A and B are shown apart, each in its own frame.
Chain A
Amino acid sequence: MTQFFLDSAWLIPCYALLGAILAVPWSPAIINRTGPRPAGYINMLMTFIAFLHGLLALLAIWNQPAQSVVIPWLQVVDLDLSIPVEMSAVTIGATMVITGLNFLAQIHAIGYLETDWGWARFYSLLALFEAGMCALVLCNSLFFSYIILEILTLGTYLLVGFWFNQSLVVTGARDAFLTKRVGDLVLLMGVIGIYPLSKTWNFSELADWASTVNLDPKVAALVGLALLAGPMGKCAQVPLHLWLDEAMEGPVPSTILRNAVVVCTGAWVLIKLQPVIAISPVAVSAVILIGAVTAVGGTMVAIAQIDIKRTLSYLVSAYLGLVFIAVGTGQIQTALLLLLTYAAAMGLLVMSTGTVIWNSITQDVTQLGGLWAKRPACGLSYLVGAAGLIAVPPLGGFWAFLQLGDSLFTSHPKLFALVLVVNALAAFSLLRVFGLVFGGQAKQMAQRSPEAHWPMVFPMILLMGFTLHVPLLLATWNLLPEWVSVNPTVAASLMLSSAIGGGAAVYLYLSSQVEKPIRFGSKDLQDFFAYDLYTQKLYRGTVVFLVDLISRTISWVDRYIVDGLANLVAFMTMFSGQSLKYNVSGQTQFYALTILLGVALFGFLLSLPILSRLSLIIGS
């Protein structure tokens, strides 16, 4: 029986797609009498079915080798575009994480979007995301991964632009689309560039090819860098990271999904491409460099934010930077583990802060405070999420960090130090937000702040439970290292870095001896991080400026030179017509003169040979 569910695992993305279509009739333009709520309920049902299907399929594939199904799509000449679907414990498990988190985000949205009419659009887009992500993890082909990434980019544009009457939403959606699109386009160059070399887009065949191939280092580096650019934009890595900050203008429930899983789609593709990127040492060092810069920069910028959603969005960039580091050093398993623990914890954090925002209205952490006593559920969820993200021993993040640290400790000690720094900074950032939001004295915006209603708290508590159970799950799956093999130095330094970072934040933000708002060093430096390293100005000064200048120039050339030439011809014709008409003077005698002159000229031309001979005769 379960075998049937495994064989039909390719249906998992289809449920969500069906839900996306079924939600559409409840848009206000079609059904406006009954309200939009059924759209949400249908999608929750579809997501739940997809989740159950995934669960049954996972039971069937457990401890079994991976199975693959090929769905024919298009065959032209010698190009065979079939969709290979890979069903392994990892991919089915990933669909469960996606559908599970989406289910929780959808319940949360029922509470959060209670006073909103746009459920049909919202739930359709959430379902599109769910379908896209499930299809991405199931499909085993670089080409189709690219297609799905592009569809998800469009989905991001529409979902960030959900409340499109706000101007910041419109610019945010624009930036999210264009920035991700740039990455995707360069990825397309890589996808197309790799085909003549490998003759396949199938990830497993690519891995086989990469293990034996002997490629020109320059070609390998270029292909590797192009393939890196897609995940770089998707995962909001430096320098393509501004979009994630601006995408925080979208609704909170979609942020749960985006922060927890959507940004991981890029990391998933990067993990799958790891063997190809590993061919070129240049590409590998680029992956590590980008990851390292983003991880440090993201955590530093997160510390300097006052918008509660943005403090988390920069941590998203930072943690995906760590995934980049893991992929760059060849640790696929660690990267997947990091993604799993991160997705649960970040989903929980966004859910908790979203619940706070919902009835505290402001997103400014300096306007909040003292919520711990009033809102224990949110506070506990936040703490568990924070603990699950940084290296705090029993929880998931610790084991992922431990695996990462273990392999970096001996091979790349500098990177290990960097991971410690990132962990400390992330701990500082998370506990700073905790101190500002839940600790201290209540500010005006947070003086009367009741706990939210059940559709928002229930999924949060459920996700908290899942985050707490992650280590137990890892233990059942035998993914935890044996106690004897744990390097005590690594474990101790990780815990120490969390303690230092977290402790410093607790001391600075919860102690009444430190004056608030806190100033770190010079104001310029603080502003530098608060304004995200002035990335927006950087974009405007470089790429946007150049493209704008070039398009204005081309538009000018088109309008005045190309069009002008064509218009000049027409103008000349009109002008000559206008002026030559004066030949028709109306004077009969003038016509007679014209005729005579014509005849005379004609006669002269006819007699030209004779005249020339005449001159010869006279000359002689």
Chain B
Amino acid sequence: MELQLQYFLLLAAALFCLGIYGLITSRNAVRVLMSIELLLNAVNLNLMGFSNFIDPIGIKGQVFTVFVITVAAAEAAVGLAIVLSIYRNRDTIDMEQFNLLKW
């Protein structure tokens, strides 16, 4: 069985779904951030797959991936900082406790 683009795309989509599932169901804020990382990785997998199979000469996708990894790192840093500051105020990182804006 030869590796094909579809497999990469399906894997990335599956990873994305897992990420979404984690993003919506997790009660722990850090796990939400981890799920976002999963989503970004799924995107990176897509970019890499398309870059290798469709644009092997220009490999623009790989450049994008580098950017995405960079931004993901920055985002994780900011996200963790936000979680930390919320934790300092509310003594919890349970997502269901952050509902000051309900109705």
For A588, list chain B residues within 8 Å (CB): 95, 98
Docked-complex contact B103 and A584, CB < 8 angstroms: yes
Can you name the residue of chain A whose Cβ is closest to the Cβ of B29? A588
A570-613 vs B: 1/0 string, CB under 8 Å? 00000000000110111111101100100000000000000000
Can you name the residue of chain B whose Cβ is closest to the Cβ of A580? B103
For A587, list chain B residues within 8 Å (CB): 95-96, 98-99, 102
Q: Kindly state whether residue B12 has any CB partner on chain A within 8 Å.
A: no
For A592, list chain B residues within 8 Å (CB): 23-24
Docked-complex contact B95 and A589, CB < 8 angstroms: yes
For B102, list chain A residues within 8 Å (CB): 584-587
Q: Whole-angstrom distance from the CB of B39 to the nearest CB of chain A?
A: 11
For B1, list chain A residues within 8 Å (CB): none
For B101, list chain A residues within 8 Å (CB): 584, 586
Q: Kindly state whether residue B33 has any CB partner on chain A within 8 Å.
A: no
Q: Whole-angstrom distance from the CB of A602 to the nearest CB of chain B?
A: 16
Interface size class of B (residues with CB under 8 A): 10 to 19
B9-35 vs A: 1/0 string, CB under 8 Å? 000000000001001111000001000
A586 to B97, CA, bound (A): 9
Docked-complex contact B24 and A586, CB < 8 angstroms: no
Q: Which of A472-519 contact B (CB under 8 A)?
A: none
Known: A587-B95, A587-B96, A588-B95. A593 touches B24 (CB 8 A): yes
A588 to B99, CA, bound (A): 8
Docked-complex contact A589 and B23, CB < 8 angstroms: yes
B21-57 vs A: 1/0 string, CB under 8 Å? 0011110000010000000000000000000000000
Q: Kindly state whether residue B3 has any CB partner on chain A within 8 Å.
A: no
Can you name the residue of chain B whose Cβ is closest to the Cβ of A596? B20
A283 to B89, CA, bound (A): 98
A484 to B24, CA, bound (A): 124
Can you name the residue of chain A whose Cβ is closest to the Cβ of B100? A586
Docked-complex contact A586 and B99, CB < 8 angstroms: yes
Q: Whole-angstrom distance from the CB of B71 to the nearest CB of chain A?
A: 19
Q: Whole-angstrom distance from the CB of B5 to the nearest CB of chain A?
A: 20
Q: Whole-angstrom distance from the CB of B99 to the nearest CB of chain A?
A: 3
Can you name the residue of chain B whose Cβ is closest to the Cβ of A583? B103
Interface size class of A (residues with CB under 8 A): 10 to 19
Can you name the residue of chain B whose Cβ is closest to the Cβ of A584? B103
For B103, list chain A residues within 8 Å (CB): 581-582, 584-586
For A589, list chain B residues within 8 Å (CB): 23-26, 32, 95
Q: Whole-angstrom distance from the CB of B18 to the nearest CB of chain A?
A: 14
A141 to B5, CA, bound (A): 105
Q: Whole-angstrom distance from the CB of B85 to the nearest CB of chain A?
A: 16
Can you name the residue of chain A whose Cβ is closest to the Cβ of B26? A589
Q: Whole-angstrom distance from the CB of A286 to the nearest CB of chain B?
A: 75
B72-103 vs A: 1/0 string, CB under 8 Å? 00000000000000000000000110111111
Can you name the residue of chain A whose Cβ is closest to the Cβ of B98? A588
Q: Whole-angstrom distance from the CB of A518 to the nearest CB of chain B?
A: 87
For A581, list chain B residues within 8 Å (CB): 103
For B26, list chain A residues within 8 Å (CB): 589
A590 to B32, CA, bound (A): 13
Can you name the residue of chain B whose Cβ is closest to the Cβ of A581? B103
A204-231 vs B: 1/0 string, CB under 8 Å? 0000000000000000000000000000
For B23, list chain A residues within 8 Å (CB): 589, 592
For B20, list chain A residues within 8 Å (CB): 596
Q: Whole-angstrom distance from the CB of B26 to the nearest CB of chain A?
A: 8
A590 to B102, CA, bound (A): 11
A585 to B101, CA, bound (A): 8
A261 to B77, CA, bound (A): 107
Which of A582, A589, A590, A596 lies at the interface centre, i.e. has the most chain B CB atoms within 10 A of its CB? A589
For A585, list chain B residues within 8 Å (CB): 99, 102-103
A586 to B95, CA, bound (A): 10
For B32, list chain A residues within 8 Å (CB): 589
A584 to B26, CA, bound (A): 19
A581 to B102, CA, bound (A): 9
Q: Whole-angstrom distance from the CB of B31 to the nearest CB of chain A?
A: 11
A596 to B39, CA, bound (A): 13
For B96, list chain A residues within 8 Å (CB): 587
A590 to B26, CA, bound (A): 11
Can you name the residue of chain A whose Cβ is closest to the Cβ of B27? A589
Q: Whole-angstrom distance from the CB of B47 to the nearest CB of chain A?
A: 20
For B98, list chain A residues within 8 Å (CB): 586-588
A355 to B20, CA, bound (A): 106
For B24, list chain A residues within 8 Å (CB): 589-590, 592-593, 596
A159 to B26, CA, bound (A): 88
Q: Whole-angstrom distance from the CB of B77 to the nearest CB of chain A?
A: 19
A12 to B23, CA, bound (A): 100
A592 to B19, CA, bound (A): 12
A241 to B22, CA, bound (A): 92
Q: Whole-angstrom distance from the CB of B1 to the nearest CB of chain A?
A: 24
Q: Whole-angstrom distance from the CB of A583 to the nearest CB of chain B?
A: 8
Can you name the residue of chain A whose Cβ is closest to the Cβ of B23? A592
For B99, list chain A residues within 8 Å (CB): 585-587
Q: Whole-angstrom distance from the CB of B42 to the nearest CB of chain A?
A: 14
Can you name the residue of chain B whose Cβ is closest to the Cβ of A589? B24
Q: Whole-angstrom distance from the CB of A581 to the nearest CB of chain B?
A: 4
A44 to B23, CA, bound (A): 102
For A596, list chain B residues within 8 Å (CB): 20, 24
Can you name the residue of chain A whose Cβ is closest to the Cβ of B99? A586
Closest 10 CB pairs of A and B: A586-B102, A586-B99, A581-B103, A586-B101, A593-B24, A589-B24, A584-B103, A585-B102, A587-B99, A589-B95
5 A-B pairs with CB atoms under 8 Å apart are A586-B100, A586-B101, A587-B95, A589-B26, A589-B95
Binding site for A on B (CB under 8 A): 20, 23-26, 32, 95-96, 98-103
Binding site for B on A (CB under 8 A): 581-582, 584-590, 592-593, 596
- Extra contacts, 5 of them, besides A585-B103, A586-B101 (Cβ < 8 A), are A584-B102, A587-B95, A587-B98, A587-B99, A592-B24
